[in-house]
Chain A
Amino acid sequence: MAETLMTARNLTKSFGALMATDDLSLEIAGGEIHAMIGPNGAGKTTAIRQLSGEITSDAGTIHFDGRDITALPMHKRAHLGLARSFQITSIFLPFTVEDNVAMAIQAHDGHSFRFWKPARSDPKLRTPARETLEKVGLERRVDTVAASLSHGEQRQLELAMALATRPSLLMLDEPMAGMGLEDSKQMITLLQSLKGKVTILMVEHDMDAVFALADRITVLVYGKAIATGAPQVIQADPAVREAYLGEGRTCSA
């Protein structure tokens, strides 16, 4: 296996009496697609929020690329090469598709205390933005206002914004959320094309997608990782079948 890119050790997070993350340890290897699955309320999104720095952990440490990032806020982690997408589509709705991606590029092109030159005609932002949009297949929609995209396209844009910063670790919170069959297939193909180029940690409910994409799977139940391993191992794990996949359900790999 390749070198470890991110290591989380003994993470905890509680909201009042609710233990959302309970002594969670996780290793993400460079280059892999690592899926995090688990029933609703297992703490998957909370884990993503802790790993990305949106919320601080009550205890535990996070190392990324050999560096302790436990205390770093989200925007600083982003500059180290950590990008994320959101479960609830988080794009800038009044802006055009290209504006959205250019914003991501801008975040990684030095400070933005630049008050004079128009950002919308800056080729340093616009050219890479268009390139990224071609990658995700939105090149025809560059001038469309994000609010008028279809749901599937908005999810693609969400991914494009995360990709635009050329991250070394991409954390995707349910990239297929709310998508129809066609859109899902397209997204799976897109993510497959990223395999090996960027390390991905993905939370997903769509088991077809998970088994089509993941190199390794971690199963979360009540904020604890009950199993980690290759898809076949996870599928065969009796504890996982018991806790998550449920009686009598078979997974199509």
Chain B
Amino acid sequence: MDRFKPSVKTWIQAAGLVFLVGLPPAASALGESFYIGLSSRILIYALAAASLNLVLGFGGMVSFGHAAYLGTGAYVVGILSYHSVEGSAFFNWPFVLAGTENAFILWPAAVVASALLALLIGAISLRTRGVYFIMSTLAFAQMMFFFFTSLEKYGGDDGLSLFARNRFGSLDLGNDAVFYYLCLGLLTGFILLSHRLVNSRFGMVIRGSKENETRMRALGFEPYRYKLTCFVFSGAGAGLAGALIANQTEFVSPSLMHWSVSGEIMVMVILGGVGTLAGPVFGAAALLLLEEVLSQYTEHWMLFLGPILILVVLFAHNGLYGSLAQGKIRNG
């Protein structure tokens, strides 16, 4: 299965990567630099979808609250940047945590905060099964949504604007092309890491637990610990996506945590191909481009998006990427 021969899958991935690398210069040359921003947004949502896919596609855990981790990552960036501009501390006790606009501190902090939230939510939700699991992840995410909505100090439901994008060493993130390439690099890195992960011993346990948990226990595994770890990785990935989206839009608000965002990320995974590594990228691109194009013609674009989604689910069972790469994708 992992013997190397340039399959359809390899070609699609290579072509996709060449396209993504060549996009900014091409867009600038055509005078359509607007597309660089849109593409960054696609890459960031692809990262969020790829992280959801870890639990949903490979672990069979239908988390309907991934917006919570996305939003948490974004708020870590938003709140600490706000304090940095204001020159105040986030808190003074038990130690002083001052604000900062340094991405080298903020982004890892966003990842850690989201991972911790995922640990807490996962530890409780993973004790339930099926529809109860879906509902409890949703309920936790809605709690986060209402928590940030009521957080007046940080803008409540109006949200919080960033003064500027974060400092990232000598890179100028204010430059859209630079920011785009950074997103592309992080997304590619995340997908490569996921590839190692799902094919490792850990990955086999996760995938086995998706198929048959009782059998896993009979063999001597305790699926809970592995599933929870996977859930935390997934939350961490979504947290990084959150830090990026806060920078891309220079704005954070509770709407990032709304359940409809969780739904959109899930649609991206399903549209692209559940349990495929590159699928979420295709899914994110398809959904956001459709939204972009359709909304130019009508404000009721959802009305047209719905049937398209249904057609994909009905006829392209493995999603867009899954169907293109034809079978063989089950193993990553």
Contacts and interface: CB of A to CB of B under 8 A. Distances in A.
Interface of A: 52, 54, 73-75, 78-79, 83-84, 86, 90-96, 99, 102-104, 106-108, 112-122, 125, 161, 165
Contacts of A108: 220
Contact of A83 (B200, B207, B214, B218): B218
Size bin of chain B's contact surface = 20 to 34
B217 A118 contact: no
A106 B201 contact: yes
A121 B2 CA distance: 9
A118 B212 contact: no
A73 B217 CA distance: 9
B202 A112 contact: yes
Contacts of A92: 207-208, 211-212, 215
Q: Is the interface of B mostly helix, strand, loop or mixed?
A: helix
Interface of B: 1-2, 196-197, 199-205, 207-208, 211-212, 214-222, 226, 229, 330
A92 B201 CA distance: 15
Contacts, number: 98
B212 A90 contact: yes
Nearest to B1: A120
B217 A119 contact: no
A96 B1 contact: yes
8 contacts: A75-B218, A75-B222, A91-B212, A102-B204, A115-B197, A118-B196, A119-B199, A122-B201
A64 B324 CA distance: 53
Contacts of A115: 196-197, 200, 202-203
A62 to B, nearest CB: 16
B200 A119 contact: yes
B200 A114 contact: yes
A144 to B, nearest CB: 12
A122 B204 CA distance: 12
A122 B208 CA distance: 17
Nearest to A122: B201
Given A92-B208, A103-B208, A120-B2, A114 B218 contact: no
B202 A118 contact: no
Contacts of B200: 114-119
Given A92-B207, A165-B220, 10 more contacts: A78-B218, A90-B214, A92-B211, A102-B204, A103-B208, A104-B219, A114-B202, A115-B203, A120-B1, A161-B219
